[in-house]
Structure formats: structure tokens, C-alpha cells
Chain A
Amino acid sequence: MPHVATYVRLAQHAEQALADSFRTVAEGHPQQADIFHTCRALAAMSDAHVAALEPLTRRYQEQTDAEDLEEPERLHTAGLPAIRQGQVGLLRDLQDLHLLATLVQTTWTVLAQGAQGLRDNELLQVATDSNTETSRQLSWLVTRMKAAAPQALIVAP
């Protein structure tokens, strides 16, 4: 049980990092209008997951001994600190977002397994719904990378 709390917090951290990174990429590539707007929409999606998880984070915190809540630092994930320039840079940024979103998705998968073991329907619901939306984020990232790749690799200045 103590490690469920750890993973709840990991999910929260990772979603927050993903939200922030989507915003970083949005703000960093404003000349790419669709990147700017879609990344902000996807950031809002992750924000909503963090918010949905909030009551569960509190509940698991209360249920867990303080010392068990010490998360090993290496479980944490860092978001994108800054964007890269140009079409190739954008491609690479999208790859980083994809990596991060994959971590988020597998975190939700892990949590959903835990929630089923615990018969915690509330957590299961949040994990399942969020997972579905993470798939949408990943799907957009793949779509956008495929669209950007040929031009970036072959003719970009």
C-alpha cells in the first residue's frame, strides 16, 4: 500500500511536468500556429488530470506513514527546460514530449493495476480516464511528428 501513494505522487509530478512541457513547446514555437494552440490545449488536458488526482493524493497521503512517503529522487521526472530552434529542433521537442507522455501513460497503467487490486474505484476511474486522454496526446504527437519529419530532415534550412 505505501507504494500506491508513491505512484499517485509520481503520476501527479509527471502529469505536471508534461503540462509544463507542452506549454514550454507552445510558447517556444509561436510561429507554428498549430503547435502553439494544440500544445496549450493538451497542456490543459494534463492540468485536468492533475486536478482530478488531487483528492486522491490527499487521501493516500493521509493513509500513508510519513516516512513511507519519501519518494526516491530518481523516480522523479524532469520536463523540458527550454525549446530547440528550427524545424529539426521542433521535431526533437515533440520527441521529448512523446517520451514524457509515455512515462505518464505507463504510470496510469501501473496505478490502474494497483487500484484494481485495492478495489479503489475512484482511483481506477481517474487512472483509466486519464490514460485514455494520454493516448490522445500521444496520437497527436505521432501525427505531428510524421507530418514534420520529411521537410525537417530533407530540406529545412
Chain B
Amino acid sequence: MTVGMPARTGVDRVADVWGERTPHGRGTVWPARVDVYLDAGISAGAVDRWVPSACVLCSNGCGVDIAVKDGRMVGVRGRGTDVVNHGRLGPKGLYGSTPWASSAERLTRPLIRDGGRLVDADWATAMGRVVSRSKELLAAKGPLSHGFYTSGQLFLEEYYTLAVIGKAGLGTPHMDGNTRLCTATAAAALKESFGADGQPGSYTDVEHCDAIFLFGHNMPETQTVLWARVLDRTRGQDPPRVVCVDPRRTPVAVEAERTGGVHLAARVGTNLALMNGLTRELFAHGWTDQEWVTAHTVGVDELRRIVDPYTPEKTAKICGVDAADLQRAARIFGESDAVVSTVLQGFYQSHQATAAAVAVNNLHLLRGMIGRPGAGILQMNGQPTAQNNRECGADGDLPGFRNWDNQQHVRDLAELWNVDPMTIPHWAPPTNAMEIFGYAQDGSIGLLWISATNPAVSMPESARIRKILAGDQCFVVVQDLFLTETGQLADVVLPAAGWGEKTGTFTNASRTVHLSERAVNPPGQARSDLDIFLMYADAMDFRDKDGAPLIGWRTPEQAFDAWRRATAGRPVDYTGLSYQLLRGPTGIPWPVNQDTPDGTDRLYTEPVFPTDTDHCETYGHDLLTGGAVTEQEHRALAPSGRALLKGCAYTPAHEQPSGEYPLLYTTGRTVYQFHTRTKTRRSRSLNDAAPDAWVEINPDDARAYGISEGDLVRVESPRGAIQVRARVGNVMRGAVFAPFHYGFDPEQLHHEPAEGGLSTQANELTMTIWDPVSKQPYFKTAACRVSKVRGGDGPSTAPTTAASAPASVTAVPPTRGGQPTSSRVIPSPDYPNDPAGTTPPASPADMSGRS
């Protein structure tokens, strides 16, 4: 890794979000470039050890080595040999991966609530309280009194252990993760179309496509390294065209215009109408592959009937887009050889989420565009380990993509765990996060255990969530790195070890599994989430049918091996993986088994889908209502390996703008922060780049309301209000955009009493409403009103580098000031499974190509 071009040093990756371009032509390997960040004063030579891992600050899953110096994590280096990132890292990964770990604010001791206050305790006392409450509730009400709410941040071994505790130990269906807020629709859409979860495509599809469609996916901010990969194609020879569906003029929209693609700024809440319009165009112009569709799908006639009314004109009217733009986008999809589609929160957290995401799958199926390089679907995830939550069943599903409605699948698990099948909660669909909080609200869940997530900030309708957590009707356990807004409301707080302080595996949005090794010790008495769950299991003394301990493992590696056995014969096949294999140069995408010992780059290279009634993960749902398809109905349909084309009519969103609340309200992300900023706010580079909440408003609306850049504004919905500074920006007219990261910090209010004690938390305004199939809450469709509170003393601190850029660049200083990083292009190593094979790195001639 020492050969190659000289390193660029002093690179400010706050200012230069995606790094320098390494353009290359279609069908060639994405060049490798190793990005490095080290704390000030630490040179590469001074690092004691580099510990292999993968980044956990988005779902991309970039391979990294953690720099350790004197027992502390002091920086990260991209792994040049990793198939996911070819050495690159984004601003969040570079600047945000390590500083939090040595923060003085870390939780180092358990806390218990005494006399209304949280006070220090030892582990025996804190866990004792949890266990006694748990036993008391089990005796009085049974297992349905217990709820678990986890994360997209834990490791596979932890999810699986918790899933076994919940399903075979306690027997409660009330288990979900915050993955419900971020990735549930990805899973639901894949299950509806293909019979089981599992990302069909691969990131290598980017190298081979001639068109890229991003549906509600602001990739430049949510997966910066994947966007760098796209830019290296769009700036190289034979670039793909980009089509962007987003109500904001994001960098994707700019790239769409630059590449001769289309930006469809569909009105918030109308995604499905747009998709129906696009689908109809494929039928109308004969762009479907009829032979393939007949052989490998069911449902085409019904789909054609459903989308038939969505003429370009009608669709344009519903969505507020130009009919010609819609037709041009459809033509690009219809006439390209290889299309990659990516989908994220703009679809997943919006009205008719699952139906809209399924419609993306439909477009690919109608063209037979799946299973070959460049023709891929990427139903993305938001979080680094969300995939494992789904796989292991910590989201309530049964482990291994098993079908809770299939008696044989339940028996298989009961045999694996050596428990009575009746213990395993399978008599009803798993309880989703929103319902879990509903049960906690009325006290029918009396113990709610929250790990590595901050619902007090991230869940919709914050006031309601705070009340549920603070109330006496439910005992709340919070397990985290810091005393979060949620932790402050808990009855018991357990200090957890974080990334780099424990060992385990996790899987990214393209099914690639990484092993993350422990680099340093956790602070004080903090323990790994696995150890905490095992401590609870021991204290509860869960046993199998023969009286042996239910959980037969002690270490992460043993837990992983138990998980491997649970995946045998299922689509999510880990049987060929081991910690030893994962200690190699790169992460490995599942399925990995005897037939595919090196992993699998893309699924469905043979168009046989896991839809057989006895094999599938679900029998499916009515996309409008969520009504479940029965086993008999599924058998009658006999998909038998064919994919399902499913459609749904568009219905207007549940809350429409009105006289009182005339604007649409939509929430989202910024490139410099992750989630509720638990980690990213503790990085100086990231925090300075986006220190405070803001809202974005269109210049026309700003004029109408007399609002200028930087003014303090009040935004209200029927559920709550926030007071933040305004960015006059690039959101579509009639809509207001708010980043969701910024929690309600009592300290801040204390310093600025003039703000009127108002929260800055975007979810104060959002609704308690979720998708009928995926149960994902709708964060992006509410109505609001905006008023000016007082003039600002300068521009807002919203970043200028991406979608939050000001509409007018004058008088807003550019966002910059990240600590120095370095970047070195290296000769491409051999990337297993890469369909482009290995080629030399881009020559200077290529690099000077289109830009």
C-alpha cells in the first residue's frame, strides 16, 4: 500500500465532502484511494496499532483500520483492499469515528432512579432492578409485558442474542429496532417483490450502468462514499445519466442536469403517483421485456390495470412536475441497457412508502433488469447494522428471514433452540416500534428496554414520546454510550461499550459482512451490549427443554457461529463465513456457503426468487391496507420462484396543507451529522460544520412571509412547534425542510431564555402515522405554518456544501474548516467478485477527462 501516487495532505473534507475525483470509464474497476484522518499531533508512524473494522456512521459499510495510540482510538484509515470503499472514507467516517470514545461525557457507571433522580450504582444493583422488575411482570402478566427497542448500531451477535432471549427465553413479540424508522420499508419492499429480504444489487453495479435513478435518496449526504463512486463514473468516460426524484435541489439533482438526466421534484407525499406514471410509460411504449416478464413474474396484468389511469398529464398534475420531464425520465429507464436504482428515506419515510418502493422493483422486473452487472436494485439502509437487525430478528421478524406465518419455519427454530414451538411468538405479526410505544403508553408493556437509540429525539411526535418514557406506567431501561435525551428519562441506565471497544460483525446495505475487532478498552465499568444481554439472560436463568442454558455462548465468535447455524438453508446464508475468513483483506457479501465460498456480489443472477410458498419470508400484503395474504391465497397464486409485480393506487397523504397550516413539512439529514448526533456532535470538525438546527424555505415562500436568510422563525404543526434559524434554500416551493438530528437540549435553552423555551427538534411536528405494510413512520408528510420571530444577526449556520446550500450564495460564507486529512491513490488491489476484474489505476489522461 505504499506504492502509488504521492499522498495529498491537508485535505479539508468538510469543504471537500466527496474528495478528489478519480474518474474512470464504464466497466472498469473503481480506482483505489486511501483516505486517512489522525488526531492533531499524531503521525502515521506514531500509531501503535491499526485494528480492522468497518465504519458505522452510515449504511455504506466502508472498510477501515482504527488507529490506536496509547490505548486510545486516534483516527481511521480506509482499507484500500475492501470491496465496499476501495480505501475511501467520507467526512463522517473520517472525523466522527473516534473522538466520541474519549469524551468526558461517556457513561462509565450504571445509573438508577432514586427519589426522582438518576444516581450512580454498581452493576449488581442496576441489573438487579431490571431483573426483579422483569420477574415481577412475568409472574403477574406474562411475557407480553416486555418490550425491546434496539438500534441499527449494535452488532450481529448482539441482535441474535437478544432475539433468542426475546423469542425463546421470554416469548414476547414486542421487539423492534429504530431500523423501523430507517430501513423497514427496504425490507418490506424486497419481501413483497422477491419473497424475502436481501439486497438484489451490488455497489459494483455503479461501474457498469448507463443510467442511475435515485428515488428519494440524497446519496451525496447520506452515503458520501457511494456518491463519490457515482461521481467517478459521471465525471469519467461514457458516463451514466442520472435521474433524481427529490423535492429539494440536492447535488443529485445538479448531477442529473449535468449528465442530461432529469430532476423530478415531485410534491411531497406523491411518490406513488409518480411511480405509477413512470410504470405506465413503460407499458405504453413497449419498453417491457414481455418474454422475461411472462417467464419470471406474476401479476403483470393487474399491475397494468392499476397504473393505466396515470397518464403523464394526470401524473404531472398530481405531482407538480412537468409531463415532458416525466416522459423523459421514463424514456431513460426504458431505453438504457443497464439501470441502477437506489431508494432511501424520501420514499421510505413518506406516504405510501412500501408501495412506492415496490414500484421501483417493478420497473426493474418489467425490463428484466436484475441480476447482471449494472442492472441492479439497491433498496438502501440508513444505518450500518440495520441489515443485521432485520436478519437476526431483533426487529421482531423471525431469524434467518423465516416466515412467522409458516409453521414449519417456527418448528425449525424451535428445534434449533431446543424449545417448545409455542414459546416462540408467532401467532401474530411482530409488534412494530410504534405499537410498542403505544403499549408502553397504556402500561400494558411494563418494561421497555432501549439499546443504542434515542427515541426521545428520533421518533415522531416528540412530546408524546417524552411523556411515555417519563411516565410511571412503564419501567424504562436505557443502554447507551452517553446519557442521551432518552437516558435522562429512564429508570435504569446501563453504560455500554461502543464501536472499537468490543468485537463483532455487521453487514452493510450491499450484504457485505465485516468483522470489527476490539481496539481499545471501554471506559470505566461500561460493558459490551452482548455482555449486558448475557448478564440479563444469566440472571433470568433461561433454560431450554432439557434444562440446559438457553444461550450456550459467551463470546462474540461463539454467538456468530450460533447465528451461522441459524441461517442454514435460508436466503441469508452465513454458513460459509467465519471470523477467520473475515480477518482477510475485505468484507464478504452473503450468501457464503459451499457453492459460493467467496461470497456473492449480486443476487438473482439466475432469475429464481425465494417466493416458493414453503420458502418465502412472507406471503405478502395488500399494499394499500397492509392486510395479510394467507398461506392458501399464496399457494393459489403459486409464484414458485417467480417475482411478484404488485401495484397500488395513489391516495393523498393523511395531512394536507390547509388555510391554518398552508405549507408541507418534511424532515431529513445533513452530511455532517448522523442520527441524533450522539457521536458526530463530539467531533469538532463535524459539529462546527453544522452546529445548530435550521429550516429551509423556498425563496418565493420566504418573500411571501417576509423571511430573510438567518431570521429566527417559528414552525408549527398541529402537534408542536420549533424555533430555529431560516435558510432560504433549494427546497421546492410550498414545502419546509428541517434536519432531524438536533435534540431538545435543556442546557441550550438555559443559555438563551429569549428563545421562549422552544425545542429545535424536528420531530416535535411530525405525525404518529406509519406505512400499513412496513410500519415505517411517515416523517416526511405533515402540514405546517411558518412565521418570523425576529431578524437574524447573520446567515444561518446551515451547511453550504450540499442540499442545504443557500439559494443565493452572496453573504453566506462557505462551510469549511475540517481538520486535515490525507488521501493517496494506490494501484488497484484484486477485488474478489468484482465483475470489472482488476485494472491499473486511472491514468492521468483519464483523470483529466470530463469534469
Contacts and interface: CB of A to CB of B under 8 A. Distances in A.
Interface of A: 31-34, 37-38, 41-42, 87, 136-143, 146-147, 149-151, 154-157
B444 A149 contact: no
B802 interface: no
A47 to B, nearest CB: 13
Contact of A150 (B428, B438, B624, B630): B428
B605 interface: no
Given A33-B770, A155-B445, 7 more contacts: A33-B434, A38-B626, A136-B622, A140-B625, A147-B435, A155-B145, A155-B444
Interface in B751-769: 767-769
A141 B624 CA distance: 13
A122 B439 CA distance: 47
B144 interface: yes
Interface in B415-435: 427-429, 431, 434-435
Listed from nearest, the 5 A-B pairs whose CB atoms lie closest are A139-B627, A140-B627, A140-B625, A143-B628, A155-B444
Contact of B628 (A139, A150, A151, A155): A139
Majority secondary structure, B binding face:
loop
B442 A87 contact: yes
20 contacts: A34-B626, A37-B769, A41-B625, A41-B651, A137-B627, A139-B629, A139-B630, A140-B627, A141-B627, A142-B627, A146-B628, A147-B429, A149-B428, A150-B427, A151-B439, A154-B142, A155-B145, A155-B444, A156-B442, A157-B444
Contacts of A38: 625-626, 772
Interface string B627-642: 1111000000000000
B110 interface: no
Interface string B123-162: 0000000000000000001101100000000000000000
A135 B177 CA distance: 32
A27 B685 CA distance: 49
Contacts of A41: 624-625, 651
Contacts of A155: 141-142, 144-145, 444-445
A136 B438 contact: no
Nearest to A44: B651
A142 B626 CA distance: 11
Given A155-B444, A157-B443, A140 B626 contact: yes
B137 to A, nearest CB: 9
B369 to A, nearest CB: 30
Q: Which of B621, B627, B770 has the most CB of A within 10 A?
A: B627
A154 B144 CA distance: 8
Contacts of B142: 154-155
A139 B622 contact: yes
Nearest to B142: A154
B312 interface: no
A33 B435 CA distance: 9
Interface string B81-110: 000000000000000000000000000000
Contacts of B565: none
Contacts of B767: 33
A33 B626 CA distance: 14
Q: Which of A140, A142, A155 has the most CB of B within 10 A?
A: A155
Contacts of A33: 434, 767-770
Contacts of A140: 622, 625-627
A146 B445 CA distance: 18
Contacts of A139: 622, 625, 627-630
Given A156-B444, A157-B442, A146 B772 contact: no
Nearest to A148: B428
A38 B630 CA distance: 20
B850 interface: no
A137 B431 CA distance: 21
Contacts of B651: 41
Contacts of B431: 147, 151
Contacts of A136: 622, 624-625, 627
A42 B772 CA distance: 13
A87 B429 contact: no
Nearest to A139: B627
Contacts of A37: 654, 769
Nearest to B633: A139
A85 B560 CA distance: 46
A140 B630 CA distance: 11
Nearest to A146: B428
B173 interface: yes
Contact of A154 (B141, B429, B624): B141
Q: Which of A34, A146, A154 has the most CB of B within 10 A?
A: A34
A143 B429 contact: yes
A156 B439 CA distance: 8
Contacts of B626: 34, 38, 140, 143
Contacts of B770: 33-34
